[in-house]
Amino acid sequence: MESRIQRSGRTGRPPRLSQEAILVAAQRILDTEGPERLSMRRLAREMSSTAMALYHHVQDKDELLLLLLDAHARRYPRPELPSEPRTRLLASAQVLHDLLADCPWIVEVLSFDDFVSESALWIVENIVDAAVECGMDLEDAVYAYRVIWHYTTGELAIRVSRERVQARAERPEYREHALEFLDSVDFPRLNAVGRRWAGLTSRDDHRRGLEAVVAGLLEQKAGVTTGQQARVERVTADAVHACPCC
């Protein structure tokens, strides 16, 4: 008589590994367990495989997150951007923010210090192009993009970190109470803010800040251009005055 062997767990061959299947499984973990639980080992268990097998398709967790961001960017709808350069610069920078903010795990990607998702390079192109149309040379336009990138990612990183801390907090932050009891002579402004500090610093002021950043970049460029023109005029005037035939 043939003996029967009881088997536990999944039966049959494990699913065929591919980069697409890995991304689907990784997104499932992000959606159901959160970014802090995503690791190559956890992903391998999800796929009934080994971490070493995954490395044949994805170099490491950093590349995995960038691939997930790229997939998200491909699905993100492209809005019709305005033609006026300054308005288009603001609109493109806002799209960059909104696309990144749409990923609750985005803080894990921000450490790469640049937006290298190929599917979202159209946003970078529009920011740089709009800056050039605003009168910047190409080098200054790239600088403008970098400033916008740093402002955007910094704002998102602080916001996400704050939300995580607040979700775990069982009592009000110490800083809220500490500001209220500061010496009004040494710290008159902070003492006046007091308990309102948390509410004021947690408001969504991204757009207001973005407009200030763009205005500052354009004003900085205008100031440089005006200064250069003034120097040219001074040099020209000095040359005329120095000319013996004038």
Q: Reply yes or no on whether the pLDDT at 34 is more than 60.
A: yes
Please tell me the predicted confidence (pLDDT) of residue 196: 86
Please tell me the predicted confidence (pLDDT) of residue 148: 95
Residue range(s) defining the domain that contains residue 101: 79-221
Q: Does 40 map to a domain?
A: no
For residue 98, what is the domain's CATH number?
1.10.357.10
pTM of the model: 0.74
Q: Does 144 map to a domain?
A: yes
Cβ density class 97-119: b for 16+ within 10 Å, e for less: bebbbebebbbbbbeeeebebee
CA atoms of 68 and 106, how far apart (whole Å): 10
Number of domains in the chain: 1
Q: What secondary structure does DSSP assign to 130-166, as a single string?
A: HHHHTT--HHHHHHHHHHHHHHHHHHHHHHHHHHHHH
pLDDT tens for each residue of 20-29: 999 999 999 9
Please tell me the predicted confidence (pLDDT) of residue 183: 86
The first and second tokens of residue 88, run together, are 């288009």
Q: Does 4 map to a domain?
A: no
φ, ψ dihedrals at 213, nearest 5°:
-60, -50
Please tell me the predicted confidence (pLDDT) of residue 4: 38
Nearest to 93 by CA among 218, 208, 217, 214: 214
Decide if 97 contacts 151 (C-beta within 8 A). no
Torsional class of 88: left (φ above 0), alpha (ψ -120 to 50), beta (otherwise): alpha
Please tell me the predicted confidence (pLDDT) of residue 1: 38
Longest dimension (CA), the chain: 122
H or E element, residue 112:
none
pLDDT tens for each residue of 175-203: 666 777 888 889 999 888 888 888 888 88
The first and second tokens of residue 15, run together, are 């699913």
Q: Does 68 map to a domain?
A: no
Q: Does 58 map to a domain?
A: no
Mean pLDDT in the chain? 81
Least confident interval from 78-87, 96-105, 109-118: 109-118
Least confident interval from 31-35, 120-124, 160-164: 160-164
Q: Does 204 map to a domain?
A: yes
Please tell me the predicted confidence (pLDDT) of residue 171: 55
CA atoms of 146 and 148, how far apart (whole Å): 5
Q: Does 139 map to a domain?
A: yes
Q: Does 172 map to a domain?
A: yes
Please tell me the predicted confidence (pLDDT) of residue 36: 82
Q: What distances in angstroms separate CA 134 from CA 81, 83, 120, 147, 234, one per listed residue? A: 15, 12, 22, 16, 26
pLDDT tens for each residue of 216-236: 999 998 875 555 554 544 544
Please tell me the predicted confidence (pLDDT) of residue 57: 94
Please tell me the predicted confidence (pLDDT) of residue 237: 47
The first and second tokens of residue 176, run together, are 């809220």
